[in-house]
Structure 1
Amino acid sequence: MTHTRPHRRNSATAFGLTSGGGLLAALALTAGAATAQVTPTAIAQGDNGLFSERVLTTGLSNPWAMRWGPDDMIWVTERTSGEITRVDPVTGAQQVLAQIDDVYTGPQHEGLLGLALHPELLQDTGNDYVYVGYTVNYGTADAPEPHARIVRMTYDAATQQLTDPTVLIDGLPAGDDHNAGRVVFGPDDKLYYAIGEQGHNFGRNLRKANLALVLPSAEEVAAGDWRTYSGKVLRLNLDGTIPDDNPEIEGVRSHVFSYGHRNPQGLAFGENGVLYEAEHGPATDDELNVITAGGNYGWPRVAGRIDGENYLYVDWSSAPADVSENADPLPDSVPQYPEEAYEAEMVPPLATYFTVDDDYPIGEICGYICDPTIAPASLLPYVAGADGIAEWGNAILLPTLKHGTLYVQGLSDDGLQADGDPVAWLSTQNRYRDVVVGLENRVFIATDAFGSAAQKFGDGLNTSVLHNPGSILLFTYDAAGGGGSDVGQTPAGLTVDEARATGTTGDMPQEFEDPNTGNATAEAIAADADVAAVASAGAPIYAQTCATCHGPAGRSDGAAQLADNLKLADEAYVATTLVHGFGYMPAFGSQLSDAEIAHIGTYIRNSWGNDHGVVTTDAVAAAR
């Protein structure tokens, strides 16, 4: 039976909180001064007046991968609901094709991820296959052991459902960070799968060994032990086995096609047959790469190019347990490796976003949002041809999480070199997750349901209020310039000097990629704190983040009632729900500091007939 779903709200059954909730009917774009994102150098902005725009559809639970189907529909995976959905590119109507019950969804990178369609889908050849990658939990709820698998499903035209899930490969590395997860069907009839390094040697995974440069042994391959597949691009036969023509790296043939990657969320073939990849850098040096068989891309020994700029690999997995990561200087007992000391043959990137000098103020302007990276969430090779978007020519389209911008990176004629700096297009106050270009030069961009991004309008540099969370935005090109877009012709970036001139901000949302890193704030709120003062500080945060769903007075038909709510008497319940979310409610632990959550919790616990005292920062920290 066909399951149609024209709209799903982003509210919750617990609190009903939603990031930037309610701004779903149209693109939330306004005129006025814009601070835009911070970049090390000025980035040109394209002429957005060539496009008209609207919101195609809303209520998606963190759309991750989009594919233009042979039925001229958009096929999309929803990370947190585990649903594969088909979206009408004209009406925005949604149809659920499958809900995968064993998908494990954790804080941020786990869930239903990559999607690939067999090129003979709906062509009456018997190859009506769809391939997906997702995470599963081998452990328990209290002690999860995430792994990833690739599954083939069959499209049943009679029921318009995806059926007969067949596991092609299981037990792939996964974790609570940097799982990548792109699935690509290659022109060679092979599957390509990108796996991140699970954020090892970083944040809450600081003491875990980073295996991005570690290759599998022959014994591990024979035993089906894929633990060293972290930080790799894999190449598989369509049944999940190892292709006979895969590269033999250090004497071993495995699924590994390339290695030394950080978090390769972008992976796609161009019309020229070249496999392009984009990956997240640490605080600088996001990368755009051409993937070659057996290629070594250097992470974690190298970020970007071997240039010795603003990166030093510190191997915390081999450091003494009693040495603090905040020690300055680090003792010699902590292994440290300058980029210049790396002598292995390495494939350099086509481009980095961005390489900066050692004196760049990493983390000092507005937290990670203002660091010199763009956070490329995927990529799409694009060739305009005679009737396409001429201004984009021959390029890579890079939707970005931090900047809510589609960066268009020009390429040389052969597609093997980057042509200058990228140009910023179609910027909104959102987190862009994926992009497809459909018929009639229509550009579709999927947005995250929550997270932090550059603030485009107002006085700040960053925000966790997204204007169109969990949506697909539609931008339609008009070569004559009659699009009439409301996407403002605002500066595509502020340089670091310009940002410093306007003054830094104390509002520094923590990195969405690692919400447990530094989320605690120096502002401790104790049980004996002044309730009125703490609640007063929470009022504007509530108004900005929660009031659209819950109403200014804590009452709404679209979300749970907060007024006179006895559940709010439980401090731990309030803290846990705000940090981890509930139902359709997003988790705010990745967006707000301990103090901000404590302020909101205290405000709602002591407003509209509630009288329950403060939420302490200790309670929020415990909830994390």
Structure 2
Amino acid sequence: MGGAVAAALMLSTSMVAAQVTPVEIESGDNSLFSSRVLTTGLSNPWAMRWGPDDMIWLTERTSGEVTRVDPTTGAQQLLLTLEDVYTGPQHEGLLGMALHPELLEGTGNDYVYIGYTINNGTAEEPDPSAQIVRYTYDESLQQLVEPTILIEGMPAWNDHNAGRVVFGPDDKLYYSIGEQGHNFGRNLRLPNLAQALPTQDEVDSADWHTYSGKILRLNLDGSIPEDNPEIDGVRSHILSYGHRNPQGIDFGPDGTLYETEHGPASGDELNIIEPGGNYGWPNVSGYIDDQAYTYINWSEAPEDVDQNTDPLPESVPQFEESEFEGDMIDPLAAYWVVEDDYPIGEICGYICDPTIAPSSVHYYDAGEDGITEWDNSLLIPTLKHGTLYVQALSEDGTEADGLPTAWLSTQNRYRDVIVSPDGRTVFIATDAFGSAAQKFGEGLNTSVLHNPGSILMFTYGEEGGGLGGVVEGNDFNASPQAEAGPAEFEDPNTGNEPAPAEDDSVDEAAATGITSESDVAEVAALGAPKFAATCASCHGAGGQGGAGAVLAGNGELADAGFVAETLIHGFGYMPAFGNQLSDEDIAQIGTYIRNSWGNDFGILTTEEVEAAR
């Protein structure tokens, strides 16, 4: 944790590149807001709540801490440090939090509800699960005490754990669970259970494994409400199903439950949650339009078929969206709908893919003195774009009113948003690390965040604004790298070429291709400057780690295929570089990291890189 600072925001006032979207998005007038950094040094803040003490209560995912922040000075006070939290690089840790509406009102309901992951296995063979725990706030000690587990044994893994906790207007708890990234990336061969529903025997025995990809509704003691929907003849905690990674849920003033969830490479969704509703995943992404998505069930595919095989054989189960026979509820909006020929993955990797990465959602009513431009809208913070999208709603709140407007853009990853009770000051929490759209210079993606692990503060109607929004013409056809990717290696942060090699023999090694007979030292020498330009900002110049994994003395680098696939396709927060780096570039960087800092694993060949593509 860190103290408050009077730091200046790195504001996007003179951008020549911004987030890439397939449609033109209007920018709001950010000069209507003053802006400053409220506090820094937070360990991946994940959920914020405005407390009855007029303080910001928040969870810190990686440190497992609940912290209270003064919304004026930024001073931090630690309320709880979890001893049993299991934290990973991306989705595991202390996640959502809800405050009982009678907290500090003298009724005895001084309760705080948190959701987090624990490890039931070992460090070498983790077996994570999720649980919701109720704590009591002791006002005299100013600490959270007396933990009571409300529900445990819920699905968790190394991806897509969702984790949002909301206290509903019906005095129920709502909790979102992702589908653990199954059938995707590193979890490609694991079955996706977003469409699976529990049997009565499983509910009776507290077997919650089918809660993957669901939104739950619980009594305050963790039990199943009697008025929960009965789905396929079984009543459980499940309110809705068919979700991918629903990190945002929030109630409107009339009790409408809004939800945002991450799509795959297109089609992030904004939904209204209906009891018993099926939202389609993994069979459908966004709308049923058979565009830019096909459900490929890798859990039932032959083991000898590689995911990069093109075309895939008929032995791999493949389904168009229109083949889905379920009764699906359409989203209010999808960010974004594109056609099959959209160059997904080809512009700047996943940062430029047609999604926004919605990390939360917050209903906003301007009232008499609030932000009139945002009245009756949903505030959607985004990870990739470092932008607050403001989605206007129809008068009755049941439809999205046009495209969202982009506000308060900075070079950060926006994790959560809250608004002060007077409706005029907006607080946005930022991730401590990760990749985002580059807002300055000629690049399109970057791992350099300007305000990592912070709360940014924007006040409406005060002097000191001047924030630039999204640049005009932010579609991929107008972007600097849209016509073709770089022919030679470029630093994704700057677009600049690395320094040329000093030794002619090194150039010759590159020209002849990299094989198992190539000289390790020569190939590693080629990779060194490319690693420094591309990878060192996250992994450290000495492979010591930081925002990225520790590479020094890392036994996983012995697997040449793993190294090649990670560089090409990305892993967790690490972006994919396959569209920016040639096979030779990747072989050189891979050889460098496999033979530096105590590693001694030999050549990564261009043939191995080609196979990983």
Change beyond 3 A, Cα 1:267–1:474? same
Please, which of 491, 498, 506 is the counterpart of residue 471 of structure 2?
491
Q: Give the aligned residue type for 1:399.
A: P
Q: Give the aligned residue type for 1:233.
A: I
Q: How much has 1:33 moved relative to structure 2?
A: 3.7
State the secondary structure of the residue aligned to 1:484.
coil
Please, which of 3, 10, 30 is the counterpart of residue 6 of structure 1?
3
Match of 1:213 in 2: 195
Q: Give the aligned residue type for 2:153.
A: G
Please list, as runs of the form range in 1=range in 2, the aligned pairs for 1:225-240 lying within 5 A after superposition.
Answer: 225-240=207-222
Match of 2:242 in 1: 260
Q: Taking structure 2 as the reference length, what is the TM-score of the superposition?
A: 0.84
Alpha-carbon separation, structure 1, partners of 2:293 and 2:116: 32
Alpha-carbon separation, structure 1, partners of 2:551 and 2:420: 51
CA contact (8 A) 2:2 2:40 kept: no
Q: Deviations over 1:305-360 (max 9, x none)?
A: 11111111111111111122122222211111111111221111000000111111
Change beyond 3 A, Cα 1:244–1:531? closer
State the secondary structure of the residue aligned to 2:90.
coil
Does residue 590 of structure 1 match 2:574?
yes
State the secondary structure of the residue aligned to 1:352.
strand
Please list, as runs of the form range in 1=range in 2, the aligned pairs for 1:266-415 lying within 5 A after superposition.
Answer: 266-415=248-397
Q: Deviations over 1:91-119 (max 9, x none)?
A: 10111100011000112100000000000
State the secondary structure of the residue aligned to 2:369.
coil
CA contact (8 A) 2:113 2:133 kept: yes
Alpha-carbon separation, structure 2, partners of 1:457 and 1:340: 42
Change beyond 3 A, Cα 1:151–1:588? closer
State the secondary structure of the residue aligned to 2:397.
coil
Change beyond 3 A, Cα 1:570–1:477? closer
Match of 2:509 in 1: none
Match of 1:504 in 2: 485
Alpha-carbon separation, structure 2, partners of 1:445 and 1:569: 32
Match of 2:446 in 1: 463
Q: Give the aligned residue type for 2:106.
A: D
Alpha-carbon separation, structure 1, partners of 2:474 and 2:162: 29
Alpha-carbon separation, structure 2, partners of 1:531 and 1:343: 53
Match of 1:514 in 2: none
Match of 2:504 in 1: none
Aligned-pair identity (%): 61
CA contact (8 A) 1:34 1:490 kept: no
Alpha-carbon separation, structure 2, partners of 1:129 and 1:118: 5
Q: Give the aligned residue type for 1:434.
A: D
Alpha-carbon separation, structure 1, partners of 2:57 and 2:269: 27
Which structure has the higher relative contact order (CA within 8 Å, separation 6+)?
Answer: 1
Match of 2:158 in 1: 176
Q: Deviations over 1:157-196 (max 9, x none)?
A: 0000000111000000000000000001000000000000
Change beyond 3 A, Cα 1:507–1:349? farther
Does residue 38 of structure 1 match 2:35?
no
Q: How much has 1:275 moved relative to structure 2?
A: 0.5
Alpha-carbon separation, structure 1, partners of 2:146 and 2:450: 38
Change beyond 3 A, Cα 1:588–1:7? farther
Q: How much has 1:397 moved relative to structure 2?
A: 0.3
Q: How much has 1:470 moved relative to structure 2?
A: 0.5
Match of 2:427 in 1: 444
Does residue 91 of structure 1 match 2:84?
no
Alpha-carbon separation, structure 2, partners of 1:392 and 1:161: 36
Q: Give the aligned residue type for 1:495.
A: D
More deviation in 524-533 or 222-231?
524-533
Please list, as runs of the form range in 1=range in 2, the aligned pairs for 1:236-251 lying within 5 A after superposition.
Answer: 236-251=218-233
Q: Give the aligned residue type for 1:189.
A: D
Please list, as runs of the form range in 1=range in 2, the aligned pairs for 1:508-523 lying within 5 A after superposition.
Answer: none
Q: How much has 1:270 moved relative to structure 2?
A: 1.2
Please, which of 528, 539, 550 is the counterpart of residue 535 of structure 1?
528
Change beyond 3 A, Cα 1:347–1:509? farther
Change beyond 3 A, Cα 1:152–1:492? farther
CA contact (8 A) 1:36 1:493 kept: no
Change beyond 3 A, Cα 1:526–1:228? farther
Q: How much has 1:496 moved relative to structure 2?
A: 2.0
Does residue 72 of structure 1 match 2:54?
yes
Q: Give the aligned residue type for 1:475.
A: F
Change beyond 3 A, Cα 1:288–1:588? closer
Q: How much has 1:509 moved relative to structure 2?
A: 7.7
Q: Give the aligned residue type for 2:408.
A: L
Alpha-carbon separation, structure 1, partners of 2:553 and 2:59: 35
Q: Give the aligned residue type for 2:326.
A: A
Change beyond 3 A, Cα 1:383–1:102? same
Alpha-carbon separation, structure 1, partners of 2:454 and 2:602: 34
Q: Give the aligned residue type for 2:400.
A: A
State the secondary structure of the residue aligned to 1:497.
helix
Change beyond 3 A, Cα 1:96–1:126? same
More deviation in 311-320 or 81-90?
311-320
CA contact (8 A) 1:48 1:487 kept: yes
Change beyond 3 A, Cα 1:94–1:492? farther
Alpha-carbon separation, structure 2, partners of 1:139 and 1:545: 28
Q: Taking structure 1 as the reference length, what is the TM-score of the superposition?
A: 0.83
Alpha-carbon separation, structure 2, partners of 1:26 and 1:358: 43
Change beyond 3 A, Cα 1:384–1:507? farther
Alpha-carbon separation, structure 2, partners of 1:447 and 1:456: 16
Q: How many corresponding residue pairs?
A: 558
Q: How much has 1:396 moved relative to structure 2?
A: 0.4
Please, which of 137, 158, 165 is the counterpart of residue 155 of structure 1?
137
Q: How much has 1:206 moved relative to structure 2?
A: 0.8
Q: Identify unmatched segments of 5+ residues in structure 1.
A: 9-23, 511-521, 561-567, 580-586
* Aligned Cα root-mean-square deviation (Å): 3.3
Q: How much has 1:617 moved relative to structure 2?
A: 7.7
Alpha-carbon separation, structure 1, partners of 2:102 and 2:587: 50
Alpha-carbon separation, structure 1, partners of 2:241 and 2:472: 33
State the secondary structure of the residue aligned to 1:264.
coil
Change beyond 3 A, Cα 1:618–1:398? same
Alpha-carbon separation, structure 1, partners of 2:514 and 2:446: 19
CA contact (8 A) 1:569 1:612 kept: no
Change beyond 3 A, Cα 1:214–1:140? same
Q: Deviations over 1:553-607 (max 9, x none)?
A: x9xxxx99xxxxxxx996549989xx9xxxxxxx99725869799869969x99x
State the secondary structure of the residue aligned to 2:247.
strand
Q: Give the aligned residue type for 2:380.
A: L
CA contact (8 A) 2:527 2:591 kept: no
Match of 1:474 in 2: 457
Alpha-carbon separation, structure 1, partners of 2:370 and 2:455: 21
CA contact (8 A) 2:350 2:576 kept: no
